Amino acid sequence: MTGRSNNISINTVFEYGEPVTVPRKALESYLCSLWQEYKDIWPALEEKDDSNLDQKNQNYQPFLSFDGEFARARNYIGFVHFEELRIEIYPKIFKNIPESAMN
């Protein structure tokens, strides 16, 4: 679902749901920098398991997966506000609830 409010593009998505069109390069860079800042602030929470090498990669972020100019939510819920884009990520269990009930 996509809407506009005060020139901000609002996209409502669900975990592992349908993809939305995004400015991939800038958004992906922004999300990677957020994840790295989080890891710098909360190093004690970093997993000690070496089997998940993706999380040690500077280009890793766990929020969205990208395919070209499309993004799909992973298993994180919340919101992303980047420039004029806002993505609201809801749990997949809410997918069949009417939109009016979520506002």
pTM, to two decimals: 0.73
Residue pLDDT tens, the chain, 103 long: 555 556 788 899 999 999 999 999 999 999 999 999 988 887 765 555 544 545 567 789 999 999 999 999 999 999 999 999 999 999 999 888 876 776 6
Whole-number pLDDT of residue 51: 47
Report residue 7 CA to chain centroid gap: 20
Whole-number pLDDT of residue 27: 95
* 2 token code pair: 């996509």
* 39 token code pair: 């890891």
Beta strands 8-14; 85-90: pairing state: parallel
Domain boundaries defined on the chain: 1-18+73-103
